[in-house]
Structure 1
Amino acid sequence: MIGLGYLATRCGIFDDQDSKRFVRLVLTFMLPPPLHVFGGLWSNLRRILIANVPLIGWLMLSMTGCYFIMILIYRFGLHNSRQLATLRAMSVANPSVPFIGSAVLPLLFSTSNSAITIGICSLTVNIIMLLIAFDALSSDRSPWKRLAATFKKPLVIAAILGFLLTLGGSKMPTQLTSTFDLLGKGASGVAIFAAGIVLGTRHLSFDKTILTTVMMKNIVFPLVVLLIMMAVGVSHDLIRLVVIALAIPTATMPSTLAIQFNVNEKELASTQFWSTACSLITLSAFVLALA
């Protein structure tokens, strides 16, 4: 999909303004779902969440912990701007579980474990990571105005509302499932295609910064979580599910936000490309090592 977007741009079919329009469509209506996440979370029963508390805890703790640590490193250790530090940190801490994971995890794990993993990763991104990202990317200097603007985002509203309905024991009527899924299922393809357009207008790049981010995302992050879980005596099945989920390459969200807010678009899109390409080796290695 990245290659198709790149080729379409090089052939003159799309340009940089088209990538911004695609991103606006994805962030407003498709991804991570005002509709799709809302429907996905609502359809999960409360008892499934309660039965998977250890899985939920490890996923949320690992992703948010990595996110905050990387923000601090990029912001104060490497002296990046607040906007760039946040997006680079998200590139490391945010695996593409809702999209690549939806294809990979059901092949390796049960349907229920795959579904709860995808749902919790989506929830973590939408409720925690995006709140911080939108705040960092906002041009408003007032923290209260930035916070208010963040909570007006359709992505954030949908995730919080879906989670509250799930905790309340609600279950989405089956008649509405296709309605909520219709736009959501097209989100990943459009977002990845838009990243290809960005690469087509700016050319693919590879440097020390991109290499470091890709290694941190594809190897170091899941490896550190693996060692911590082994040290505290977590069961092998739980380790396998959490680590493989975290070893999935970086999501489209960092590059999507970079396009929307004009923050190092070329770097973030290139990071997504190389993380995805390298995952053919790194993700396979984690799957085989934990078999």
Structure 2
Amino acid sequence: MLEILSITSPIFILIGLGYFAVRAALFSRADMRVLGTFVIRFALPAMLFKALSERPFDEVMNSGYLIAYALGSLAAMGAAILLALKWRKRDFLSSVIIGMGASSSNSAFIGLPVAVQVLGPVGSVAMALCLLVENLLMLPLLLIMADRAGHKRASIVAMLRGTLASLFRNPMLVAIAIGFAFALFGLALPAPLSKVVDMLSFASGPLALFVIGGSLAGMGVKGMVADVTLITVAKLVLHPAAVLIAVLLVPGIGPELQAAAVLIACVPMFSIYAIMGQKYGLEGMCSAALVVATVASFVSISIIIWVMELTGFIPALS
């Protein structure tokens, strides 16, 4: 267990450092947005490109992994929506937002550091594949469901067109596409550019975690205990369980990628969850769930890694 804590503790210490830096007024929340923009537009795209371009194409493009992670995420989303509708008696819009929190991992900012520390470079490849599922399937589907539930007048075709347009402007997805192309054709960057990519890659993990902590500062946790509990348990327990079942059932996924999928699924929801909820007047519930899930994940991630090590799902950590 000490080996596991040596993996998870630095991650959450960096998150805590970002939180207290904002609380102590060393940085403002506006500063966190600037740092987050740097991470999203430069550091993480560089890391994704590096991870994909330096491996053979047949190793980084794993269709079984994509199918399994999609099936697990859809199952977690559907179960959370049904629980919200039947148990909590929430309306469909609120239930969809609950399903969003239950099935959308913070794969880039938290999932990546966890997977890389446990499994090494394969964690970066797994995170890139998860980003494809989240951005090309889960997020568009959830937004369409939420907008239709909110009685938006825009047609599904118009919403899809807008979603696709935003995807083409997403630096991380562009980096993934270029990385796949380099892997497919066996290309390599000139040495000076390769060093620039390396330097940006090294900044992505620590800075992303610092930004997560700073973004949580000032978010309140008030009321809505049942809804917040549902979202938190569904995200930290149900989602990884559903992904685990899927990766074991779908053929063609190696043990390392199976473990990486579960590790990425067990992290809290993405950091813009509260912003997404604000669009539908549910920012209070989303903010509270984000704070609770992030804090609780320190324990849940450690337990899941311990169980995976105990059962031989991942190599012994030492």
TM-score, structure 2 normalization: 0.68
Q: Trace 1:202-217 onto structure 2 (pairs within 5 A).
A: 202-203=219-220, 207-217=225-235
Instruction: Find the aligned partners of 1:158 and 1:62 in 2 and give their Cα distance.
Output: 23
Kindly tell me: are residues 93 and 4 of structure 1, through their superposed partners in 2, closer, same or farther at Cα, counting changes over 3 Å? Answer: closer
Match of 1:25 in 2: 38
- The answer (yes or no) to whether the contact 2:47–2:197 under 8 Å persists in 1 is yes
Match of 2:203 in 1: 186
Kindly tell me: are residues 9 and 39 of structure 1, through their superposed partners in 2, closer, same or farther at Cα, counting changes over 3 Å? Answer: same
- The answer (yes or no) to whether the contact 1:88–1:254 under 8 Å persists in 2 is no
List runs of 5+ in structure 2 lacking aligned partners. 1-13, 85-91, 314-318
Match of 1:198 in 2: 215
Say yes or no: does 1:86 pair with 2:92: no
2:136 to 109, 131, 137: 131
Shift of 1:215: 3.8
Match of 2:168 in 1: 151
- The answer (yes or no) to whether the contact 2:109–2:209 under 8 Å persists in 1 is no
Kindly tell me: are residues 194 and 229 of structure 1, through their superposed partners in 2, closer, same or farther at Cα, counting changes over 3 Å? Answer: closer
Kindly tell me: are residues 269 and 22 of structure 1, through their superposed partners in 2, closer, same or farther at Cα, counting changes over 3 Å? Answer: farther
- The answer (yes or no) to whether the contact 1:92–1:250 under 8 Å persists in 2 is no
Kindly tell me: are residues 256 and 30 of structure 1, through their superposed partners in 2, closer, same or farther at Cα, counting changes over 3 Å? Answer: farther
Q: Trace 1:1-291 onto structure 2 (pairs within 5 A).
A: 1-31=14-44, 33=45, 35-46=46-57, 48-49=59-60, 56-74=62-80, 78=84, 79-81=92-94, 85-91=99-105, 96-106=110-120, 115-125=121-131, 127-132=132-137, 135=140, 141=154, 142-143=158-159, 144-172=161-189, 176-203=193-220, 207-226=225-244, 238-239=254-255, 242-243=258-259, 245-247=261-263, 250-251=266-267, 254-256=270-272, 258=274, 263=283, 264-290=286-312
Kindly tell me: are residues 119 and 72 of structure 1, through their superposed partners in 2, closer, same or farther at Cα, counting changes over 3 Å? Answer: same
How many residues align structurally? Answer: 273
- The answer (yes or no) to whether the contact 1:67–1:92 under 8 Å persists in 2 is no
Instruction: Find the aligned partners of 2:257 and 2:139 in 1 and give their Cα distance.
Output: 30
Shift of 1:59: 3.0
Query: Cα RMSD (Å) of the superposition?
Result: 3.8
Kindly tell me: are residues 283 and 214 of structure 1, through their superposed partners in 2, closer, same or farther at Cα, counting changes over 3 Å? Answer: farther
- The answer (yes or no) to whether the contact 1:62–1:225 under 8 Å persists in 2 is yes
Shift of 1:284: 1.0
- The answer (yes or no) to whether the contact 1:44–1:166 under 8 Å persists in 2 is yes
List runs of 5+ in structure 1 lacking aligned partners. 107-114
Shift of 1:120: 3.1
- The answer (yes or no) to whether the contact 1:204–1:266 under 8 Å persists in 2 is yes
Shift of 1:97: 4.3
Instruction: Find the aligned partners of 2:202 and 2:263 in 1 and give their Cα distance.
Output: 22
For the residue of structure 2 that corresponds to 1:183, the secondary structure is helix
Counting aligned pairs with the same residue, the percent is 20
Q: Choose 166-175 or 60-69, whichever is displaced more.
A: 166-175
- The answer (yes or no) to whether the contact 2:232–2:289 under 8 Å persists in 1 is no
- The answer (yes or no) to whether the contact 1:203–1:266 under 8 Å persists in 2 is yes
For the residue of structure 2 that corresponds to 1:185, the secondary structure is helix
Shift of 1:148: 1.3
